[in-house]
Amino acid sequence: MALISSSVSTQWGNVQVKVTISGGKITDVTMVHSTSEDGEGRSQAIDNQAEPVYISETKKAQSADIQAISGATVTYEGYTQSLQSALDKAV
């Protein structure tokens, strides 16, 4: 089952994710919209480093309860809020 999250507005742009759940487990998370699409070069560099880590941590934690990466707080807040909105649709 694939779930598209609500779009979450951050100071650097909108964040939206698609979560794939199979067998009751999060098997994949993809970025539908990232702040790097709206932001400047610095935002793109931060997102390019942080998003793969956040996605990996989500799969390990099987929830939106993951740790923020220093320097990527806005990305973290947008990502986790968006992720949680998708997971809420699965319930």
Residue 26: per-residue pLDDT: 97
Q: Considering its fold, how many domains does the chain have in total?
A: 1
pLDDT band of 7, cuts 50, 70, 90:
very high
Residue 45: per-residue pLDDT: 84
pLDDT in tens, 20-67: 999 999 999 999 998 876 556 667 888 889 999 999 999 999 999 999
CATH of residue 25's domain is: 3.90.1010.20
**Tokens found for residue 60:** 């390990």
14: number of Cβ within 10 Å: 17
Sequential DSSP letters for 11-67: TTEEEEEEEEEETTEEEEEEEEE-HHHHS-HHHHHHHHHHHHHHHHHHHHHTSS--P
Residue 41: per-residue pLDDT: 66
Quick check: 65 and 53 in contact, CB under 8 A? Answer: no
Domain containing residue 69: 2-90
Looking at per-residue pLDDT, the higher value among 38 and 90 belongs to 90
